A and B are shown apart, each in its own frame.
Chain A
Amino acid sequence: MTAPVAAPDRPAPEPTSASSSEDVGRRREFLHFALRGPKVLISGSILLLFVIVAIVGPIIRPGDANAFVGPLGAAPDGAYWFGTTTFGQDVFAQFANGLRTTFGAGLLGGGLAAIIGMTIGFIAGYRGGLVDEILGMVTNIVLVIPTLALLIVVTAYLSARGIVVEALFIGLTSWPWAARAIRAQTFSLATRDFVDLARMSGVRGLRVIFSEIAPNMSSYLFLSFILLFGGAILIAASLDFIGLGPTEGSSLGLMMYNAVAWGALPLGLWWWFIPPGIGITAIVGALYVLNVGLDEIFNPRLRES
């Protein structure tokens, strides 16, 4: 996992016009690109596939994913599609349930980080001045602290851990880059005429942000959320891998932890550690590509002719 690949400083998008016929045209253009561009289609399909597995999987294979049900260390076959672990657990059941946990952590953690990032970014970009300086300093401090190290220390002290707590901590620590990016965009939008107009009409701070600035950044906000979502999944997987994940249930990172801890490598039980890794890589990779694909749609300048 690396720092988010794409969140460059870019000029703020042009504000949407009031005319409805232009809106229809814009929507049509959006759909045209969304359905033609291979990036959006392929990455969207991959994500959809995993979501389906996450929803349907545990229904096909109900029960506790960690129950000891089958032969020990068996390779994939008709009965156990992903084989079994050294303890006879169904790897597919673990995988499907793990997907739910992973998506959950990503949504909650990424969502929380998005909310914090937006709040701080909007306020700092809109108010400026001393408020901006202070928030900037807070952002810098949280940005520089290696979050995984902090999370390890924090979660190590918790005796009982669930997805919610994990997601909470991830959300509280991964927002800085988003806050910075959103602040920069808010800055440039806040100086535009239509914002001045709103202010002069007596609309107050918070409402200006919600009704004028945010809607014109909606594509940017959505893209930031996608990246935060992906990042949260990676961090959660790493935490799980160190053994600091949820103490109950299954997750993709936890599967890898167990696989390594119980000798899947020297024993060659590849079906134990390959699926979870592919799952995370495919989901996060699809999110990155989706981000780029949607960016091209929203920012026509990036489109390759």
Chain B
Amino acid sequence: MSLEVEDLRVYYRTLAGDVKALDGVSFKLADGEIMGLAGESGCGKTTLGNSLVLLDGRMKHVGGSVKLDGAPLPIANFKAMQEFRFKHISVIPQYAMSALNPTRKIGKMVEELLESRGIGGDEHRKELERRVQLVGLGVDVLDRYPIELSGGMKQRVVMVVSTLLDPSLLIADEITSALDVSSQRAVAQTLQSFRDKGFVRSMIVITHDVSILYQISDTLAIMYAGKLVEKAPTQTVMEQPLHPYTRLLISSLPEMGVRFADQRLKGIPGTPPSLLNPPPGCRFRDRCPLAFAKCAEEPPLVELAPGHSVACWKAAS
């Protein structure tokens, strides 16, 4: 499976105007690739994830295209997307803890969901049971109501349900944010094992916590203010980031063994620009220590090395 996103623009309708949450994002996802998508809150990563699966009422597709395995993906057409959802593109939502119907037993809900999509029940029931055990839960979980499960258990159930039909593309949205550190690691490893076992072909893992991505993703894409600023293999991003924002982001990560007295944690001063009326030129310009005259013009995303794209005049020169 391959995913090609070309200059995708998705805006939010608000009373005050259009919020340009996703303003021209392009990237490619190869078969079997786990791509981490990171950035600050409000950079557009969740919008990107949502737009690939379910464009809700407030979002509008303004421009750009998405191709799945060479064929165009009709993201703006709710009905046309139905065929893709769950079967080919699936999502583990940000709100996984409350994603299960509180008044239905979990197994029953899955059964009814499959039936409503015209997919037979029995073989999938066995597979469901198998996978539920794979994530460390007992089969009895399927006979329970969501209220009887802990947050972590519900998280795992949603992971199993979302991947039940072996989708080509899985979008995992902030699935570790509400968990403690050891659970985070367990979930991250489970995700990776899903890909390795063939339950999922490719993944986009969305988070603001870069350290998780370091563990499981093959490539990292960094977003800022609605734009993609850098994409490269994970190792490269961590060790040789080219975009100033990425470099500041990486260096702001605490390192094990380094004490506060020796090296202070660096933050990035300032805040991202408003997406209602974004400033012209490079959006990171105001906070960038390397900004110069050319930055008044918006830098294009250029592939500077094989598999390594950056949107920065300084890095390109």
Contacts and interface: CB of A to CB of B under 8 A. Distances in A.
A32 B16 CA distance: 11
B13 interface: yes
Interface string B10-42: 000101000000000000000000000000000
B228 to A, nearest CB: 28
B57 interface: yes
A20 interface: no
A305 interface: yes
Interface of A: 32, 305
Nearest to B13: A305
B197 interface: no
Interface string B48-91: 00000000011000000000000000000000000000000000
Contacts of B58: 305
Nearest to B58: A305
Interface string B258-269: 000000000000
Contacts of A305: 13, 57-58
Nearest to A36: B15
A305 B15 CA distance: 8
Contacts of B57: 305
A87 to B, nearest CB: 57
B262 to A, nearest CB: 33
A305 B13 CA distance: 9
B123 to A, nearest CB: 41
A305 B57 CA distance: 9
A32 B13 CA distance: 17
A33 to B, nearest CB: 9
Nearest to A33: B15
Nearest to B57: A305
4 contacts: A32-B15, A305-B13, A305-B57, A305-B58
A22 to B, nearest CB: 15
Nearest to B14: A305
A293 B200 CA distance: 47
For the complex of A and B, 3 pairs with smallest distance between CB atoms: A305-B58, A305-B57, A305-B13
A303 to B, nearest CB: 9
A196 to B, nearest CB: 21
Q: Which of B13, B15, B58 has the most CB of A within 10 A?
A: B15
A32 B58 CA distance: 20
Contacts of A32: 15
A119 B57 CA distance: 41
A32 B15 CA distance: 10
B154 to A, nearest CB: 19
Contacts of B13: 305
A32 B57 CA distance: 22
Interface in B204-221: none
A305 B56 CA distance: 12
Nearest to A303: B15
B161 to A, nearest CB: 26
Nearest to A304: B57
B19 to A, nearest CB: 13
A15 to B, nearest CB: 20
A14 to B, nearest CB: 16
A179 to B, nearest CB: 26
A195 B57 CA distance: 36
B205 to A, nearest CB: 28
A273 B57 CA distance: 47
Contacts of B15: 32
B168 to A, nearest CB: 33
A238 B120 CA distance: 58
A141 B227 CA distance: 60
A138 B58 CA distance: 46
A305 B16 CA distance: 12
A30 to B, nearest CB: 13
Nearest to A32: B15
Interface in B116-158: none
